[in-house]
């Protein structure tokens, strides 16, 4: 309080002292009161009425689609190329991510009824699925860049050898390592029904909770978006140059589409999360900006979460071999026991088709 200013005003305006005193208090506390009385964005309507149904639909579509991709890659394509190994790991990453969406439908309602251990486990699996997707997208772009761009000069063959398996194992290890904070920095105290599975600084951590939130956001922005995006842009530019010169659309279209769609789905959420966490550095701490950022975080996160069911649609839409193997899979599953097996000519034709279309993905 500015006491001298208060009494000076009272002496000057004896007839209207009460009104002036009121004005002085408003002048002193207006900004503080405005910040304290900001209307917070209430996402419960969207979270309780829309998200459970959407996540259930995404879970079903993603589970079916990614499982079919796994079957086609293992049974028909037999993981003969490194790109097949990339797509296999992407499908597994999507399945890990999908497992958390069912629990996400539960947490969209007030309260967390699954306990402390499940809170940590689900948060960690979500993070592993996210970072592994990001890393395997980067691996897919690099692999296609090496096998298409440098093959023209060095005649490299894109065989899925030991290096592909070792790289995949390394990526899973890095994704798990990057997800350790989500396994460790979550809690669900269950003090009341409003408690949710949320971030909480552990007692042994030296920094305050705000510093940890900054760290987690930077981790998400750098490992989940910025670094993979820069690598993907570099590889994509090289692929597009080769595409323009040598007309090998079938070999790179699928890869470029998968890479671009991933970043289209996840970039808005990462940007909004970054702006929200560091809002004071961007002059976004006012009530209206905070409200809009909170709403944008919820909407962009929903969009990003739905990406885990998109890759199967891309594969079937852009790769003819996936469509043929998918049709063959359903035809065989619908065959009755009385139908005769394939003859030698059909088997030979099948092998030839497989060789013809293997390189298209």
pLDDT tens digit string along 94-148? 999 999 887 766 655 555 666 677 878 888 999 999 999 999 999 999 988 988 8
The Cα–Cα gap between 115 and 188 comes to: 6
Q: pTM for the whole thing?
A: 0.79
d(CA 287, CA 167): 47
pLDDT confidence of residue 204: 57
- Out of 1.20.1070.10, 3.30.1330.60, 1.10.580.10, 3.10.105.10, select the CATH number for domain 44-188+196-331: 1.20.1070.10
19: Cα within 13 Å, side-chain hemisphere? 5
C-alpha neighbours within 13 Å on the C-beta side of residue 52: 10
Tell me which H or E stretch contains 199: strand 198-199
Give the pLDDT confidence score for residue 29 in this predicted structure.
42
> Which pair of structure tokens corresponds to residue 99?
């497992």
State the Cα–Cα distance between residues 196 and 182, nearest whole angstrom: 14
How many Cβ atoms are within 10 Å of 33's Cβ, its own excluded? Answer: 11
122: which residues sit within 8 A by CB, 6+ positions away? 100, 103, 114, 197
Q: Note whether 83 and 359 are within 8 A (CB).
A: no
* Domain coordinates in residue numbering, the chain: 44-188+196-331
Check residue 198 and give its pLDDT: 67
What is d(CA 72, CA 89) in angstroms, rounded to the nearest whole number?
A: 13
């Amino acid at each position: 309080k500015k006491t001298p200013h208060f009494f000076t005003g009272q002496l000057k305006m004896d007839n209207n002292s009460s009104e002036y005193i009121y004005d002085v208090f408003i002048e002193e506390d207006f900004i503080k009161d405005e910040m304290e009385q900001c209307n917070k964005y209430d996402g419960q309507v969207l979270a309780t009425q829309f998200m459970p149904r959407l996540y259930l639909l995404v879970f079903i579509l993603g589970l079916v689609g990614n499982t079919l991709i796994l079957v086609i890659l293992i049974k028909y394509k037999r993981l003969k190329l490194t790109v097949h190994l990339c797509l296999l790991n992407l499908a597994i990453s999507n399945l890990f991510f999908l497992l958390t969406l069912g629990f996400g439908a539960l947490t969209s309602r007030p309260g967390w009824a699954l306990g402390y251990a499940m809170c940590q486990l689900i948060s960690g699996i979500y993070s592993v699925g996210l970072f592994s997707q990001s890393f395997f997208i980067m691996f897919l772009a690099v692999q296609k860049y090496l096998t298409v761009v440098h093959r023209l000069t060095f005649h490299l063959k894109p065989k899925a050898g030991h290096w592909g398996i070792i790289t995949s194992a390394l990526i899973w290890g890095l994704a798990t390592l990057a997800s350790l904070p989500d396994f460790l920095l979550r809690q669900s105290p269950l003090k009341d029904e409003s408690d949710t599975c949320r971030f909480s600084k552990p007692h042994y951590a030296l920094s305050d909770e705000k510093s940890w939130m900054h760290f987690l956001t930077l981790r998400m922005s750098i490992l989940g978006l910025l670094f993979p995006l820069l690598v993907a842009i570099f590889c994509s530019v090289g692929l597009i140059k080769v595409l323009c010169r040598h007309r090998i659309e079938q070999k790179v279209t699928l890869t470029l589409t998968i890479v671009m769609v991933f970043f289209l789905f996840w970039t808005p959420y990462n940007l909004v999360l970054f702006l929200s966490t560091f809002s004071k550095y961007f002059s976004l701490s006012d009530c209206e900006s905070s409200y809009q950022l909170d709403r944008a975080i919820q909407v962009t996160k929903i969009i990003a979460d739905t990406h885990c069911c998109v890759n199967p649609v891309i594969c079937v839409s852009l790769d003819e071999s996936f469509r043929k193997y998918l049709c063959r899979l359903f035809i065989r599953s619908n065959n009755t026991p009385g139908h005769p097996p394939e003859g030698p000519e059909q088997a030979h034709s099948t092998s030839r088709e497989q060789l013809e279309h293997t390189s298209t993905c």
